[in-house]
Amino acid sequence: MNQKLKEQIITRFAEDWGRKSPQYEVCVKIFDYLLSRPINQLKHLTYGSLKNAIGDNPSDTDILKATQYLCGDRTPVLSLHFEFSDKEDEFIYLEYDEVRWAKSTGKLVHPVTGEDIDNYEDKVFMFFTPSPLISEIRS
Protein backbone atom coordinates (compact mmCIF):
# COMPACT_ATOMS: atom_id res chain seq x y z
CA MET A 1 0.00 0.00 0.00
CA ASN A 2 1.26 3.45 -0.87
CA GLN A 3 0.96 4.91 2.63
CA LYS A 4 2.37 8.29 1.63
CA LEU A 5 -0.28 8.82 -1.07
CA LYS A 6 -2.99 7.62 1.30
CA GLU A 7 -1.91 10.19 3.89
CA GLN A 8 -1.80 12.94 1.23
CA ILE A 9 -5.40 12.22 0.29
CA ILE A 10 -6.56 12.31 3.92
CA THR A 11 -4.68 15.60 4.37
CA ARG A 12 -6.59 17.02 1.39
CA PHE A 13 -9.86 16.00 3.02
CA ALA A 14 -8.83 17.89 6.15
CA GLU A 15 -7.69 20.97 4.20
CA ASP A 16 -10.92 21.13 2.22
CA TRP A 17 -13.44 20.23 4.93
CA GLY A 18 -11.75 20.67 8.31
CA ARG A 19 -11.15 17.64 10.54
CA LYS A 20 -14.28 18.25 12.63
CA SER A 21 -16.76 18.45 9.77
CA PRO A 22 -19.17 15.61 9.04
CA GLN A 23 -18.09 15.64 5.38
CA TYR A 24 -14.47 14.99 6.40
CA GLU A 25 -15.57 11.98 8.44
CA VAL A 26 -17.72 10.66 5.60
CA CYS A 27 -14.84 11.06 3.12
CA VAL A 28 -12.41 9.23 5.40
CA LYS A 29 -14.87 6.38 6.01
CA ILE A 30 -15.60 5.92 2.31
CA PHE A 31 -11.88 6.11 1.52
CA ASP A 32 -11.05 3.52 4.20
CA TYR A 33 -13.87 1.30 2.93
CA LEU A 34 -12.49 1.44 -0.62
CA LEU A 35 -9.04 0.50 0.61
CA SER A 36 -10.14 -2.26 2.97
CA ARG A 37 -12.51 -4.29 0.80
CA PRO A 38 -11.52 -6.75 -1.92
CA ILE A 39 -11.63 -4.92 -5.24
CA ASN A 40 -14.13 -7.41 -6.70
CA GLN A 41 -16.65 -6.27 -4.05
CA LEU A 42 -16.41 -2.66 -5.20
CA LYS A 43 -17.52 -2.90 -8.83
CA HIS A 44 -21.01 -1.49 -8.33
CA LEU A 45 -21.39 0.75 -5.29
CA THR A 46 -24.77 2.36 -4.86
CA TYR A 47 -25.59 5.31 -2.66
CA GLY A 48 -27.20 2.85 -0.24
CA SER A 49 -24.15 0.61 -0.09
CA LEU A 50 -21.92 3.61 0.62
CA LYS A 51 -24.33 4.78 3.30
CA ASN A 52 -24.20 1.34 4.93
CA ALA A 53 -20.41 1.32 4.75
CA ILE A 54 -20.23 4.69 6.50
CA GLY A 55 -22.51 3.76 9.39
CA ASP A 56 -23.07 6.28 12.21
CA ASN A 57 -26.08 7.74 10.33
CA PRO A 58 -24.64 10.93 8.86
CA SER A 59 -27.22 13.08 7.10
CA ASP A 60 -28.05 12.46 3.46
CA THR A 61 -26.83 15.99 2.71
CA ASP A 62 -23.42 15.24 4.23
CA ILE A 63 -23.14 11.99 2.29
CA LEU A 64 -24.18 13.64 -0.99
CA LYS A 65 -21.69 16.48 -0.52
CA ALA A 66 -18.91 14.05 0.31
CA THR A 67 -19.61 11.69 -2.62
CA GLN A 68 -19.77 14.61 -5.03
CA TYR A 69 -16.43 15.82 -3.68
CA LEU A 70 -14.90 12.32 -3.91
CA CYS A 71 -15.84 12.22 -7.61
CA GLY A 72 -14.17 15.58 -8.24
CA ASP A 73 -10.80 16.50 -9.68
CA ARG A 74 -9.02 17.34 -6.42
CA THR A 75 -9.53 13.94 -4.79
CA PRO A 76 -10.82 11.54 -7.44
CA VAL A 77 -11.48 8.59 -5.16
CA LEU A 78 -14.79 7.55 -6.72
CA SER A 79 -15.86 7.32 -10.35
CA LEU A 80 -19.50 8.09 -11.11
CA HIS A 81 -21.46 5.94 -13.58
CA PHE A 82 -25.04 5.67 -14.77
CA GLU A 83 -27.22 2.79 -15.85
CA PHE A 84 -30.68 2.51 -17.34
CA SER A 85 -33.22 -0.13 -16.32
CA ASP A 86 -35.31 -1.04 -19.33
CA LYS A 87 -38.65 -2.87 -19.55
CA GLU A 88 -36.96 -6.24 -19.16
CA ASP A 89 -35.25 -5.16 -15.93
CA GLU A 90 -31.93 -5.35 -17.70
CA PHE A 91 -29.40 -2.70 -16.81
CA ILE A 92 -27.70 -0.89 -19.65
CA TYR A 93 -24.66 1.28 -19.03
CA LEU A 94 -25.08 4.93 -20.02
CA GLU A 95 -22.31 7.34 -20.87
CA TYR A 96 -22.19 10.53 -18.84
CA ASP A 97 -22.82 12.58 -22.00
CA GLU A 98 -26.07 10.66 -22.62
CA VAL A 99 -27.33 11.53 -19.15
CA ARG A 100 -26.21 15.15 -19.44
CA TRP A 101 -27.94 15.47 -22.82
CA ALA A 102 -31.13 13.95 -21.37
CA LYS A 103 -31.09 16.44 -18.50
CA SER A 104 -30.66 19.37 -20.86
CA THR A 105 -33.30 18.25 -23.39
CA GLY A 106 -35.68 16.31 -21.17
CA LYS A 107 -35.35 13.28 -23.44
CA LEU A 108 -33.36 10.08 -23.16
CA VAL A 109 -32.96 7.81 -26.14
CA HIS A 110 -32.80 4.08 -25.43
CA PRO A 111 -29.16 3.14 -26.08
CA VAL A 112 -30.12 -0.09 -27.89
CA THR A 113 -33.48 0.53 -29.60
CA GLY A 114 -33.13 4.25 -30.29
CA GLU A 115 -36.65 4.92 -28.96
CA ASP A 116 -37.45 7.85 -26.67
CA ILE A 117 -37.84 6.74 -23.06
CA ASP A 118 -40.83 8.10 -21.14
CA ASN A 119 -40.18 9.14 -17.53
CA TYR A 120 -36.50 8.34 -17.91
CA GLU A 121 -35.68 9.93 -14.54
CA ASP A 122 -37.32 6.96 -12.81
CA LYS A 123 -35.25 4.48 -14.82
CA VAL A 124 -31.75 5.93 -14.63
CA PHE A 125 -29.61 5.10 -11.62
CA MET A 126 -26.18 6.21 -10.57
CA PHE A 127 -23.51 3.99 -9.10
CA PHE A 128 -19.88 4.33 -8.16
CA THR A 129 -16.66 2.43 -8.64
CA PRO A 130 -13.26 3.05 -7.10
CA SER A 131 -11.25 5.43 -9.24
CA PRO A 132 -7.81 4.54 -10.66
CA LEU A 133 -6.36 6.47 -7.71
CA ILE A 134 -7.55 3.70 -5.38
CA SER A 135 -5.66 1.10 -7.45
CA GLU A 136 -2.58 3.30 -7.32
CA ILE A 137 -2.77 3.54 -3.53
CA ARG A 138 -3.44 -0.18 -3.15
CA SER A 139 -0.40 -1.20 -5.22
- Listing DSSP states for 57-106 in one string gives ---HHHHHHHHHHHTSSSS--EEEEEEEE-TTS-EEEE-HHHHHHHHHHS
Q: What is the pLDDT of residue 87?
A: 73
* 3-state SS class at 55: coil
How far is residue 25's CA from residue 136's CA, in Å, rounded to a whole number? 22
State pLDDT tens for residues 76-115. 999 999 999 987 778 999 999 999 999 999 999 988 889 9
- DSSP class of residue 10 equals H
Burial class of residue 95, CB neighbours in 10 A (0-12, 13-18, 19+): exposed
Burial class of residue 54, CB neighbours in 10 A (0-12, 13-18, 19+): buried
pLDDT more than 70, % of the chain: 100
What is the pTM (predicted TM-score) of this model? Answer: 0.90
